[in-house]
Amino acid sequence: MTIEIALVLGIALIAVVLFATEKLRIDAIALLVLSGLAILGLVSPGDALSGFSNQATITVAAMFILAAGLQNSGALSGIGRLLSKAKSPFLFLLTLFGVLAVVAPFVNNTAVVAVFMPIVMTATAAIGMSASRALIPLSYVSQMAGVCTLVGTSTNLLVNAMARDLGHPGFSMFEFTPLGVICFVAGCVYLLTLGRWLLPSTRATELVEHYELGKYITELRVMPGSSLIGTSVGEAKLGEEFGVFVLELLRGDEKVWSPRSQTLEEGDILLARGDWSKLDELKNQSGLEIDSEFKLKARNLEEGTQQVLTEVMVAPRSRVIGSTLAMLDRRWQHDATVLAVHRRGQVLRDQLKNVRLNVGDVLLMLTPESEMPALRKDTNVIVLSQRDAEKPMGWRAPFALATMVLVIATSAIGWAPIAITALIGAVAMTLAGCLDADEVYDAIDWRIIILLAGLLPLGVAMSQSGAAEFVVANTLGLVSHLGPVVVMAVLYLMALVLTEFMSNAAAAVILTPIGISTANLMGVDATPLLIAITFAASTSFATPVGYQTNTMVYSAGGYRFVDFIKVGLPLNLIFWVLGVIFIPMFWPF
């Protein structure tokens, strides 16, 4: 092992640990990787910065803009009406899968799920179906459909770009379609049969009418005359009477030891957890008030101003990620009062002003009705429980659809690279008014762009330094005597495991040069191995943290971690078996 190999593998290992532990933002990790490679001289300055001008990076940015243009123009506004016409849960899922089969192969699946979540939750409530029976399928099917084309996910574009940089001819627009269609059909059949019965049916997840998105955390202040003054939390039996549990007792700025046994005083703040309706009932009956510290940009509203209770989820590319509610006041652009916070899978025990927001956190807010249109357009949040207003189907809707079709068709025919057609399409939608100039910048998930640009040099370094060959010789090389199909099956499993616990783009960057080096070592075509990496890295079903769409529905659906394992692991195994069978048939070694 040379010094260069050791350094590259060391940087790759540090990146894997950082991605898995989520101690830093993904874009910050990518820039650290890029900086480390450049400072240590493992890549040239040109190679270090090449990711920012790479076709994959440009294409992903343009596709974000195209997706926003489709959404803003109202081109997708009829989907909710279509889904609401379903007469049974089975027909609803069948219709949803059909719509996703058309949309998701050409629109980034994170954007698809962000658009469809409120639609699905409204439609399921209309037909009396639990939303938890539809949100995991929404996430999974968007991933399955996205892998059918080159532009369906950023991972597909990333593997294609890296492969080209390493001497592979790359992939065409519909190169993945044959295997993608087979996996899509098999996955849909699974979700409509066995998977459907494995999904939980949690009535509390149907928040559209009753705002019952699970257990909220809020701060209740003991007011003068409260019936709780002079009693302890334990004596008041709030859990038995209201289903509300006091996590902490705050007196001034200090947490009081043993909150259940302390005698409550005027001005004490209870950090309480429960369904919102129960919290509200406790507040009204016991002389408590929601702590009013978190009024975000709330100006003096005229008397009689109509206000609505709404739930918003922190979106994957939100600028408020990492902010506390106190910090949020400086970044927020809407009149709103935050009443409570919900975080799936974790009980918050800090004062709300100190809680840093994560992807998937849900804020229960009181906001003026006039503020709702602006709130719906804000890409930092996803409005869950307040139904979107119908968008007028003007001429921009068919224009946006036609533009997207031309972008895909022109590239598929071979008249121009996808980076160029997508860029022209984004400009056309902007000039047509499908979205304005400010919305163009907001539409792009800059974390993903920086991630792609920062990680591409790692693939170059692994190839040029010989690190990829070293890894192959000490891992896949040990089973190479069993034949290329076995090697492909092992490589698929490696990608599958990595992408469940870290960024799928990072998993693809690490494994793509390994796949090409493995093919060179065995003297076979690298295409089957690259296809296996692409499919495994783009379809993560077994954990709620393996893919951004899973994280989004994890909170909104009221799921447990084990629900993803129960439903997703068999689906991952189905995809693995199908890949091992069909990849060598479509792309012979």
Give ∠ CA 32-37-42 in degrees, rounded to 5: 175
Model confidence over 321-335: pLDDT tens digits?
Answer: 777 776 665 556 667
With left for phi above 0 and alpha for psi between -120 and 50, is residue 22 left, alpha or beta?
Answer: left
Q: Does residue 325 share a domain with residue 248?
A: no
Please report the beta strands in 223-335, taking only residues with DSSP state E, as ranges in sequence order: 245-251, 254-255, 269-274, 288-290, 295-296, 307-314
**The pLDDT of residue 388 is above 70:** no
More confident residue, 554 or 291: 554
Instruction: Provide the residue range defining the domain that includes 342.
Output: 295-383
Q: Does residue 178 share a domain with residue 46?
A: yes
Point out the least confidently predicted range of 148-162, 232-246, 454-468: 232-246
Separation between Cα atoms, residue 190 and residue 316, nearest integer Å: 28
Q: Does residue 405 share a domain with residue 314?
A: no
Domain membership flag for residue 411: yes
* Confidence grade of residue 546 (pLDDT, cut at 50, 70, 90): confident
Residue 349's pLDDT is 64
Domain membership flag for residue 130: yes
Q: Does residue 443 share a domain with residue 367?
A: no
Q: Does residue 458 share a domain with residue 552?
A: yes
Residue 575's pLDDT is 95
Q: Does residue 303 share a domain with residue 187?
A: no
Q: Does residue 112 share a domain with residue 73?
A: yes
Model confidence over 12-66: pLDDT tens digits?
Answer: 888 888 877 777 878 888 899 999 999 999 988 888 888 888 888 888 888 888 8
Model confidence over 272-322: pLDDT tens digits?
Answer: 877 777 787 888 888 888 765 555 444 444 444 566 777 788 877 677 777
492: closest CA among 469, 515, 473?
A: 515
Q: Could you tell me the CATH number of the domain that includes residue 319?
A: 3.30.70.1450
Model confidence over 239-265: pLDDT tens digits?
Answer: 777 778 787 888 877 777 677 778 888
Residue 346's pLDDT is 62
Please tell me the total count of domains within the chain: 3
Per-residue CA distances from 84 to 40, 79, 97, 391, 527 (Å): 58, 9, 14, 17, 43
Greatest mean pLDDT among 160-174, 182-196, 197-211 lies in 182-196
| DSSP string across 174-215 | TTTHHHHHHHHHHHHHHHHTHHHHHS---GGG-HHHH---S-
- Mean pLDDT on 162-178: 89
- Mean pLDDT on 228-241: 81
Domain membership flag for residue 389: no
pTM, 2 dp: 0.72
Point out the least confidently predicted range of 382-391, 406-415, 434-443: 382-391
More confident residue, 566 or 548: 566
* Confidence grade of residue 212 (pLDDT, cut at 50, 70, 90): very low
Share of the chain above pLDDT 70, in %: 87
Q: Does residue 192 share a domain with residue 244?
A: no
Cα atoms in the Cβ-side hemisphere of radius 13 Å centred on 276: 22
**The pLDDT of residue 347 is above 80:** no
Task: Show the DSSP H helices in 105-249 as ranges.
Answer: 109-126, 135-146, 154-165, 177-192, 194-198, 207-210, 233-236, 238-242
**The pLDDT of residue 389 is above 50:** no
Mean pLDDT of the chain: 81
- Mean pLDDT on 378-382: 77
Per-residue CA distances from 67 to 64, 192, 337, 391, 576 (Å): 5, 28, 31, 16, 30
Among 290, 324, 341, which residue terminates a domain?
290
Model confidence over 93-140: pLDDT tens digits?
Answer: 999 999 999 888 988 777 788 778 877 877 787 777 877 888 899 999
Per-residue CA distances from 41 to 37, 48, 335, 577 (Å): 6, 10, 50, 42
Residue 289's pLDDT is 81
Share of the chain above pLDDT 90, in %: 19
- Mean pLDDT on 373-378: 75
Calculate the CA 362 to chain-centre distance: 14
Separation between Cα atoms, residue 263 and residue 272, nearest integer Å: 16
Q: Does residue 527 share a domain with residue 443?
A: yes
- Mean pLDDT on 145-169: 88
**The pLDDT of residue 530 is above 90:** yes
Domain membership flag for residue 390: no
Residue 306's pLDDT is 65
Q: Does residue 544 share a domain with residue 430?
A: yes
Domain membership flag for residue 152: yes
Separation between Cα atoms, residue 441 and residue 436, nearest integer Å: 9
Domain membership flag for residue 132: yes
SS3 per residue for 499-561 = HHHCCHHHHHHHHHHHHHHHHHHHCCCCHHHHHHHHHHHHCCCCCCCCCHHHHHHHHHCCCCH
Domain membership flag for residue 392: no
Is residue 383 within a helix (H) or strand (E), and if so which, with residue range? strand 381-383
Q: Does residue 435 share a domain with residue 375?
A: no
Residue 460's pLDDT is 84
Q: Enter the tokens of residue 352.
A: 């709300």
Among 249, 265, 290, which residue terminates a domain?
290
Among 250, 268, 290, which residue terminates a domain?
290
| DSSP string across 49-98 | HGGGG-HHHHHHHHHHHHHHHHHHTTTTTTHHHHHHT-SSHHHHHHHHHH
Residue 582's pLDDT is 96
Domain membership flag for residue 395: no
**The pLDDT of residue 511 is above 60:** yes
Separation between Cα atoms, residue 255 and residue 258, nearest integer Å: 9
Q: Does residue 130 share a domain with residue 23?
A: yes
